[in-house]
Structure 1
Amino acid sequence: MKKLLLASNNAKKLKELDALLAPLGYVLIPQGELGIPEAEEPHPTFIENALAKARHAARLSGLPALADDSGLCVHALAGAPGVISARYAGEPKSDARNNEKLLADLAPHTDRRAHFVSCLVLCRHTNDPQPLIAEGEWHGEILTELRGTEGFGYDPLFFVPALGRTAAELEPELKNRVSHRGQAMQRLLARLQGA
């Protein structure tokens, strides 16, 4: 098994990424297991934050590190919540409060288009001059009420017209294939195999 450090302590993100990597012989270790604290995420873009997290984890662990910075971008809200998706309603992080705030902010709008973004960065070592970077987008719209019990974050509000269901109504295997994170991981794996 090839070890990769996950620059996150998010158990649900770990589960999704682990399922995508396991068939290729990779095992993900959450950074918390090695006592590595969360990195600062001060940047305005997904790619900058993912790169900062991956470099931070690689530097403190000595292992190759994988980081995912992802979030929801809503057309009518000029891309918000964007990079602050996990903390949209403030600290402490709360999926329920984030969803409530999103519904309140979208209430005056008829345009419900949105997309999830995932930016994956793999630093093979601390000073990797060419980290592997892959992005994925998943397009849908925001409902006016929660539907489904799977997934996490904004999944119960994110409706995918092509599937006729919310992200929270999808089986984990299907979500892993079609989601923003699944798309980004397929691109990253293709780059890994060619690297």
Structure 2
Amino acid sequence: YGVFLTPFEHLDYMLTYHSTLTFSENDEVYLPLSWTNPLFQFPRRGYYVVAVSVDHLKTYHPIAYYGLQTPLWWMAWVVFAFSLYLAVLKLRRGELPKLELFLLCWFSANYLIYFPMAYLLHRWVYPFYFYMTVPIIAIGLPKIMEGDKISELVLYGVTAMQIGWFLGFFPVKAQWFIDLLLLLGVPA
């Protein structure tokens, strides 16, 4: 294509371009800690929401695409902390913590990397960057919760919350499901 004569020119262009993607103090930015914190989370954002009003009495959304967290996201730090703890225990026993090391590396490369970028370099970051971390949470959570009866109950609770979250925020809802949600007094 002849755009860049050498790979170094291309790297220079990428570095220059990415250096311009910074935010200032007045910009609305959802920093990485707000992606996994249920207490101080980023607000739900509607990307495409269709509102239907019936007799001006009830309003519902048969189609609603939102950007939001899920209960699985909130378990990120639990998985990270327990993976670190289990890795240390295995190392002390002289074992190689393969799965724990995999979890920690994936978590670091796909989530923790955004902390210095956002907080130190003021680089724009977006909550959808966290999507690459979700599979590792889904793998790590059952691993750290195995064996103990209380842990299994917590895992079942998180799974039930996640299923409920999925059903409640699924973008396209059937009319019978909307009617059920409205009957229960839950936003539809």
**TM-score (ref. length: structure 2):** 0.25
Structure (1 or 2) with the greater helix fraction: 2
Structure (1 or 2) with the greater strand fraction: 1
Larger RCO (alpha carbons 8 Å, 6+ apart): 2
**TM-score (ref. length: structure 1):** 0.25
